[in-house]
Structure 1
């Protein structure tokens, strides 16, 4: 199995069309898209035919995980999480497999105390 192509989001050949799809050299892109802040990798997203499709992750510049989730044809599916800079879980959302319905939404402050909890009935 070959590794998917990887491009940098800041590359001058990267563009977004009016349907919010990612293009590379005027073609819908399939592969991994990374973004750096200085030397630090701060995001890695998977794309298929110009849409986010597969796992995605973001990091703070110090390497601490900032967020992770999964998309299917441009829509969030499954569990999506965000962390405060100190590494404490900040936000967790659960999406249905159709990517159209949020099933749960919870947040915590930077000390780990719950601030919101909602669940679909």
Structure 2
């Protein structure tokens, strides 16, 4: 199936099953899922067989990038970034290979000044 297949999350034929898989016309969906607000794209996520799997991106209402990262089998993997509306990096989170462990987290204010930083101690 082509990865260029795309549906809008608000489409009446999009649903979720009891296991929280995304369905389109009753079948687990593979492709891109979009969300629009006021006619503007605000999110774009990749799905495979109804499970979020691949790039995940969100935009502020003005079109500037709000966040991006990668999801594998429904769980965050690797680096996720968030930006303030002015384009300044707001947060950086790094998830472990299991998708459950947050390994580090850093936050900045709208002027780019660090406000919080945390890293998992690997000496366990």
Q: TM-score range by the shorter chain?
A: over 0.9
8 Å CA contact 2:3, 2:30 repeated in 1? no
Question: May I ask how many residue pairs the two structures share in their alignment?
Answer: 121
The equivalent of 1:19 in structure 2 is 19
Secondary structure of the residue aligned to 1:10 is coil
Q: For each residue in 1:63-120, what CA deviation from the matched residue of structure 2 results, as whole angstroms up to 9, or x when unmatched? A: 1000001000000001001111111111110011221211101111111111110111
Separation in 1, partners of 2:103, 2:49: 27
The equivalent of 1:63 in structure 2 is 63
8 Å CA contact 2:77, 2:97 repeated in 1? yes
Separation in 2, partners of 1:101, 1:17: 26
| RMSD over equivalenced CA pairs, Å | 1.4
Separation in 1, partners of 2:58, 2:114: 23
Separation in 2, partners of 1:90, 1:65: 11
Separation in 1, partners of 2:92, 2:18: 30
**Structure 2: any 5+ residue segments left out of the alignment?**
none
Q: CA deviation at 1:4?
A: 2.8
Q: Calculate the TM-score normalised by the size of structure 2.
A: 0.91
Secondary structure of the residue aligned to 2:35 is strand
Separation in 1, partners of 2:106, 2:26: 39
Q: Calculate the TM-score normalised by the size of structure 1.
A: 0.93
